[in-house]
């Protein structure tokens, strides 16, 4: 796999910034990864889909290895892979229809379980209608853009969709612009509207005169609360999130918008929780079992909320969803400089004591009540479906 010089330089610069943590935060990382991958698709030479998939996978492996804790990199790579596979499948479908008239899906239709008879019939009907549709479209000279299968029907779950009927080595010249178009719309444009999509749901979750608690500085949560404050009056209590003190910045931003804000120390969270109606936090990443990787202190807040039976809402965009499973939660944590905890000016103390400063916290799924994401909301038990829709299970290991 050979990338063009300019592109290689861009990739190298991105990798070194990731390694040095000069680019931190899932939004920035995701955007840059998507742009790089789009350039890869457009500038590299590939003749068929398998070559392209290999190129993307190799590059994705390089990028994730640069900073394994930034899960957003891997997420975007997997989404691009899924898009490629979908486009190829769609192309082959239209090709087949133009050729022999039967689509791949109806072949699959004959190999399902006996129990699903009714569904099979209705699905086969549905698919033949679909085939007719595309047939009609393809009879006009330009093939229509195939719809992405973002909603897997119950039927598809039971059938192995990755049957080797799909031939990725088929050559088709229409794929390149289609893939680039899909990346532009599904990923890059989507990233732009993520904050709005979440903030628009704010009024459904916040009632008047509420007391909301939050921790850390999350742009998503800030936009969420700001949008709600336009129509409702409520108060916010922000935990300062030592040692980075992101919470203080968040409080200043919220107060500037006109929300009544109180800043408390982390130690006061349990004491003050009896006063709180809801907890709203942001996430760094969401893992396959519905657990979160969030800023340090979030587990504390969520556990205190559980003890007081206070609901916990997590505002997160779908690109933060990762198909990785937390077998070992330490894998997702990163320890940053201990200077913030015990400063180097304490000289004699430093080398005698072991000082730890983990940056993230893992919040187990039983502490979260609801994920509010840009396409709606979902309880933690539904996260696996969202993962199925957005990623291919083969791509979990890059």
Partner 1 sequence: MSTSNQSHETSQHGSIGSASTSAGQPSGSPALGHPQSGARKALKDMTKAERRALQEKKVAEKQDRMAAGLPSSAKKASEQEAHRKVASPKIGSTANTPQSPAPDAEKQAKKQQKRLNEVPWLSHLDPPRKPNTASNTNKDLHPAVLALGLRFAEHKMVGSNARCVAMLLTFAKIIQDHKPPSDASFSRHIQKYLDPHIAYLLSVRPMSLSMRECIRWLKKEISEIVEEDPPLTDESARNRLVERIEYFIKERITVADRLIVENGMQKIQNGDVILTYAKSSVVEALLLEAKRSGYEFRVVVVDSRPMFEGKHLLRRLVSAGIDCTYVLLSSIYVVLKDVTKVILGAHALLNNGAVYSRIGTAMVAMAASDKQVPVMVCCETYKFVNRTQVDSLVLNEMGNPDELVVKKSSDENSSNSLTNWRDVPNLRLLNLHYDVTPSKHITLVVTEVGLIPCTSAPVIWREYK
The footprint of partner 1 (CB under 8 A) covers 240-246, 248-249, 251-256, 258-272, 274-275, 296-297, 299-300, 303-304, 307, 333, 341-342, 346, 349, 352-358, 361-362
Distance CA 231, CA 304 (A): 29
Q: For partner 1, give the closer residue by CB, 181 or 226.
A: 226
Q: For partner 1, give the closer residue by CB, 253 or 375.
A: 253
Q: Nearest approach, Cβ of 304 to partner 1 (angstroms)?
A: 7
CA distances from 161 to 153, 206, 330 (A): 11, 41, 34
Q: For partner 1, give the closer residue by CB, 199 or 238.
A: 238
Q: For partner 1, give the closer residue by CB, 23 or 188.
A: 23
Phi and psi for 321 in degrees, rounded to 5? -80, 125
Tokens of 44: 């590299």
Tokens of 212: 């909301």
Find out whether the peptide bond into 243 is cis, omega within 30 degrees of 0.
yes
Q: Nearest approach, Cβ of 252 to partner 1 (angstroms)?
A: 4
Q: For partner 1, give the closer residue by CB, 156 or 248.
A: 248
Q: Is the four-CA dihedral 194, 197, 200, 205 of positive or negative sign?
A: negative
Q: Nearest approach, Cβ of 298 to partner 1 (angstroms)?
A: 9
Q: Nearest approach, Cβ of 250 to partner 1 (angstroms)?
A: 9
| DSSP label of 358 | B
Q: Nearest approach, Cβ of 42 to partner 1 (angstroms)?
A: 39
- Beta-strand relationship, 260-264 and 370-373: unpaired
Q: Nearest approach, Cβ of 191 to partner 1 (angstroms)?
A: 25
Q: For partner 1, give the closer residue by CB, 55 or 368.
A: 368
SS3 264: strand
Tokens of 311: 């609901």
Residue 166 and residue 104 in contact, taking contact as beta carbons nearer than 8 Å:
yes
């Amino acid at each position: 796999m050979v990338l063009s010089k300019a592109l290689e330089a861009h990739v190298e610069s991105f990798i070194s910034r990731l390694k040095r943590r000069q680019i931190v935060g899932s939004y920035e990382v995701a955007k840059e990864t998507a742009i790089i991958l789009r350039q890869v698709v457009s500038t590299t030479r590939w003749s068929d889909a398998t070559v392209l998939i290999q190129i993307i996978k190799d590059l994705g492996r390089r990028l994730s290895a640069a900073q394994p804790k930034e899960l957003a990199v891997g997420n975007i790579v997997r989404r691009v892979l899924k898009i490629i596979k979908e486009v190829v499948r769609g192309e082959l479908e239209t090709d087949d229809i133009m050729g022999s008239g039967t689509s791949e899906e109806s072949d699959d239709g004959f190999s399902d379980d006996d129990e699903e008879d009714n569904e099979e019939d209705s699905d086969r009907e549905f698919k033949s209608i679909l085939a007719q549709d595309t047939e009609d479209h393809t009879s006009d000279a330009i093939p229509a853009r195939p719809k992405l299968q973002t909603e897997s029907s119950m039927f598809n779950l039971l059938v192995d969709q990755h049957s080797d009927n799909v031939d990725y080595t088929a050559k088709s010249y229409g794929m390149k612009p289609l893939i680039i178009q899909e990346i532009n719309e599904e990923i890059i444009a989507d990233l732009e509207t993520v904050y709005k999509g979440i903030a628009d749901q704010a009024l459904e979750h916040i009632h008047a005169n509420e007391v909301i608690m939050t921790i850390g500085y999350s742009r998503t949560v800030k936009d969420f609360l700001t949008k709600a404050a336009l129509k409702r009056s409520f108060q916010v209590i922000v935990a300062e999130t030592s040692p980075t003190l992101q919470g203080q910045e968040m409080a200043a931003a919220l107060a500037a918008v006109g929300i009544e804000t109180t800043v408390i120390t982390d130690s006061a969270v349990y004491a003050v929780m009896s006063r709180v109606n809801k907890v709203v936090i942001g996430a760094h990443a969401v893992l396959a079992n519905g657990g979160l990787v969030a800023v340090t202190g979030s587990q504390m807040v969520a556990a205190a909320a559980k003890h007081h039976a206070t609901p916990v809402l997590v505002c997160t965009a779908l690109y933060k969803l990762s198909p990785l499973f937390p077998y070992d939660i330490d894998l997702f944590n990163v320890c940053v400089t201990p200077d913030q905890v015990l400063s180097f000016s304490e000289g004699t103390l430093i080398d005698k004591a072991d000082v730890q400063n983990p940056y993230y916290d893992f919040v187990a799924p039983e502490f979260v009540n609801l994920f509010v994401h840009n396409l709606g909301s979902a309880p933690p038990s539904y996260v696996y479906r969202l993962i199925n829709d957005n990623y291919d299970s083969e791509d979990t290991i890059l």
